Amino acid sequence: MSITETTYKCKKCGDEIPANTNKNLTSCKCGASAVDGCADYVRVIGDREDWKQWEVAGAEDVVKHLPPLTKEEVEHYEGL
């Protein structure tokens, strides 16, 4: 399965971010959400309600690509 053409769209600002960000954490224009992805995994940071893709792909389908966040990462994302 390929995730390279998947995009995540923020419901708040309408900004779209490709799932494959080459492991660069990329936030949307309003900063409500961010995506960190590559060919092997995709992390979607932010409120699930803000992302249409969560509904399209199904949250479980996305979650299985998520490696566990470290404590430091969680604190970083919460501070965004």
Residues 19-48 that bind Zn ion (CB under 5 A): 28, 30, 32
Out of 13, 21, 41, 73, which residue is the one contacting Zn ion (CB under 5 A)?
13
Q: Dihedrals φ, ψ of 15, to 5°?
A: -70, 140
- Does the protein bind Zn ion through residue 10 (CB under 5 A)? yes
Q: Which two tokens stand for residue 27?
A: 């936030």
Q: In the complex, what is the shortest distance from the CB of residue 1 to Zn ion, in angstroms, rounded to a whole number?
A: 26
Q: How far is CA 62 from CA 3, 30, 42, 73, 79, in A?
A: 10, 22, 7, 18, 23
What is the distance between the alpha carbons of residues 62 and 80, in angstroms, rounded to a whole number? 21
The piece of 6-14, 41-49, 54-62, 64-72 that touches Zn ion (CB under 5 A) is: 6-14
* CB 71, min distance to Zn ion, A: 26
Residues that bind Zn ion (CB under 5 A): 10, 12-13, 28, 30, 32
